[in-house]
Amino acid sequence: MKTYNKNLEAVFRLTPEQYRVTQQDGTEQPFQNEYWDNKEPGLYVDVVSGEPLFASVDKFDSGTGWPSFRRPLEPANVVEKVDRSHGTIRTEVRSKHGDSHLGHLFPGGPRDMGSLRYCINSASLRFIHRDQLESLGHGEYLKLFTQEA
């Protein structure tokens, strides 16, 4: 079993936007981020720790302009916290090992997918295409994509 940790070298390599989002709990602009409309098969991992977070098989178009997922790939890698900022109470989503701010959890996902919407900032993610999973040490997830064309 792999272990994941907050990688300080990775933090130093973050772009200003990735740093603002992951380390300062920021939110990127909708429809102007890297993965909101990505339809390629693969995994989304934490940009700081590399821990697997979400899979393309659970991604859906929520119409919000951010990547949206029905569930985490590895629930143990995703932490939910109460967020009382902006005068509301929301559920913040963070990576467990990288402690990166990922986004928020909302109701309103597809009913046939559990009615949840993990609304995630692209800046907190690194995408690994299905064809690179084996070579990058994530071959155990290839089985997720055997039914895809």
| Strand ordering across the sheet containing 90-95 | 59-60, 68-69, 116-120, 101-107, 90-95, 78-83
CA–CA distance, 13 with 10 (Å, rounded to integer): 5
Distance of CA 71 to the CA centre of its chain: 10
Which residues fall within 8 angstroms of residue 97, CB to CB, at 6 or more apart? 3, 4, 5, 6, 46, 49, 51, 77
Residue reference for tokens 């929301």: 90
6 C-beta neighbours (distance < 10 Å), count:
17
* Closest-CA residue to 36 (of 73, 72, 65, 71): 65
Please list the active-site residues: 119
